[in-house]
Amino acid sequence: MNHGKVSGRMAAAMFGTVALGGCITVNAPEEPIVIELNVNIRQEVIYRLAEDAGNTIEDNADIF
Amino acid sequence: MGRNMNSVTKTVLAIAAAATAIGGLATPAFAQRDPAYAAARSAGQVGERMDGYLGIVVAETPALRRIVNDINIKRRAVYSERAKATNATIEEYALTAGCQAILATAVGEKYQAPDGSWQTRTSAAPLRDPRCP
């Protein structure tokens, strides 16, 4: 009975350690995220600008 | 025959000269890539990022960094100007240009897929942001 209780506490303590260990290993990325994928830019905006952007690329062929 | 060809050549040259005179200095549409940029591009050392700017694909060198920074500063200036003209933000305009620039890559050139990985362009359509037209 008592033994079972101790085992239970140990298990709880171990579980706690594992859970804590899990928390500790989740680190924030050390390097800043390089790719700025702007999720706020809507598709309709891109569609509106597509033709102008295409012309811009053609008109500035030396830098594209 | 030789004389005829000659006169045709002269005519063509005259038209070209006239066109140049009319065009004046405004000939950016025919501007070519800088040889160092063109070489780095076809060697797959640099590629089109999905945000509209040029990226370094291989291990960075000062020479590659110089090329990429030079191109990106110029691109940003163009994006800024066109974004103003189209009532868009620079980021919106740049992302749109990125869609188009990736689409315009030649077979063998590098481009960035939506997951951030560098891909080599094949004859198949490139992997692009789902928002790209």
Q: Can you give chain B as a three-state secondary structure string?
A: CHHHHHHHHHHHHHHHHHHHHHHCCCCHHHCCCCHHHHHHHHCCCEEECCCCCEEECCCCCHHHHHHHHHHHHHHHHHHHHHHHHCCCCHHHHHHHHHHHHHHCCCCCCEEECCCCCEEECCCCCCCCCCCCC
Residue B100 belongs to some domain of the structure: yes
Domain count across chain B: 1
Give the structural domain span for B86.
33-120
Return the amino acid letter for B114. Answer: P
Which comes out higher in pLDDT, residue A8 or B76?
B76
Residue B61 belongs to some domain of the structure: yes
pLDDT mean across residues, chain B: 86
- Residue contact B131–A61, C-beta within 8 A: no
Residue B8 belongs to some domain of the structure: no
Residue B9 belongs to some domain of the structure: no
Q: Tell me, what's the ipTM? A: 0.75
Does residue A31 belong to the interface with chain B, where contact is any CB pair within 8 Å? no
- Residue contact A64–B91, C-beta within 8 A: no
Residue B12 belongs to some domain of the structure: no
Distance of CA B62 to the CA centre of its chain: 21
Q: What is the pLDDT of residue A32?
A: 59
Residue B55 has pLDDT above 90, yes or no: yes
User: What residues of B are in contact with residue A50 (Cβ under 8 Å)?
Assistant: 96, 99-100, 133
Report percent pLDDT > 90 for chain A: 34
Q: What is the pLDDT of residue A40?
A: 80
Residue B120 has pLDDT above 90, yes or no: yes
Tokens representing residue B113 in the block: 């897929």
Residue B3 belongs to some domain of the structure: no
Q: Give the residue from A56, A58, A59 with the most B CB atoms within 10 Å of its CB, the best one to mutate.
A: A56
Residue B2 has pLDDT above 50, yes or no: no
Residue B112 has pLDDT above 80, yes or no: yes
Which of B75, B92, B130 is the closest to A63 by Cβ?
Answer: B75
Residues across chain B: 133
In this prediction, residues A10-39 reach a mean pLDDT of 59
User: Edge to edge, what strands does the sheet with B46-48 contain?
Assistant: B54-56, B46-48, B110-112, B118-120
The band of A20, judged by pLDDT with boundaries at 50, 70 and 90, is low
User: What residues of A are in contact with residue B133 (Cβ under 8 Å)?
Assistant: 46-47, 50
Neighbours of B94 (CB within 10 A): 30
- Residue contact B88–A45, C-beta within 8 A: yes
pTM of the entire predicted model = 0.67
